[in-house]
Amino acid sequence: MQLGAGYLVASEDVEAHRATGDTAETRVAVDSSAGSARLEARVVRFHPGRSQPQFLDGREGALYVAEGSGSLVIDGRSYDLAPEMGAYLSGETFVIENAGPRDVVTVLVTAPLPDGARADPDRRTVSLSDRESRPAGADREFRYLVHRDTGCPDLTQFVGVIPPGRAPDHSHEYDEIVYVLEGEGKLHIGDESRPIAPGACMHLPPRVVHALENESDVPMRVLGVFHPSGDPASRAYEAND
């Protein structure tokens, strides 16, 4: 649903598509039909087995593993995948191998591939546990996954932690996708508010004033991907700044 200049959808409410013989079940949560000119977000569930080749069609991508373990195969090279890992894809075709028994659930955010962008095969994947925590405001924190220091020129992928309560209204210079991993609360844009829970996916265009509110008594965790690359703690505007 449109929410001011932003967009919000529960990914489980999006129709799933699965090609004959493929293990990949894809739900397109955000694309141009949601008002996003550059970023697209897909929740892709890989059932046990070897997927058919997955094509990015001239786009780069930041892949996040939400559940399950398997392997990412690109150009004959295999990379282990486990929960809370990110991977950078610079337009390559890839395959997911899942030995089972659980599905591998991923969130893939893509953008147009910039000229000359090429992933470093030795820095293809990154684990959240290997990244240091950084402040994002007075009481929030985040950890980078895919970022410039892992060879991605213009996408930043991170996991943020939001404590109970509501942050001040704010905006960013960048274009952003946010996916709720854990916790429940509300997305506020202008005078509108909508509930969010695990699986909620939102598009926040540049300079759209918004706030995430955690209504539970435990931290909320979100996956964020934004373009162009930068710092999740940066603000174009913040109330009471």
Q: Is residue 172 located within the same domain as residue 208?
A: yes
Domain that residue 165 falls in = 129-238
**CA 138, 132, 210 angle in degrees (round to 5)?**
40
Closest by alpha carbon to 157, among 141, 174, 145?
145
Residue 238 has pLDDT above 80, yes or no: no
DSSP 146: S
**132-167 pLDDT, tens digit each:** 999 887 678 999 999 999 989 899 999 999 999 998
Q: How many domains does the chain have?
A: 2
Pick the last residue of a domain from 119, 142, 164. Answer: 119
Question: pTM to 2 decimals?
Answer: 0.95
| H or E, element range at 189 | strand 185-189
CB count, 10 Å around CB of 214? 23
Q: Is residue 139 located within the same domain as residue 106?
A: no
Q: Which pLDDT value is given to residue 184? A: 97
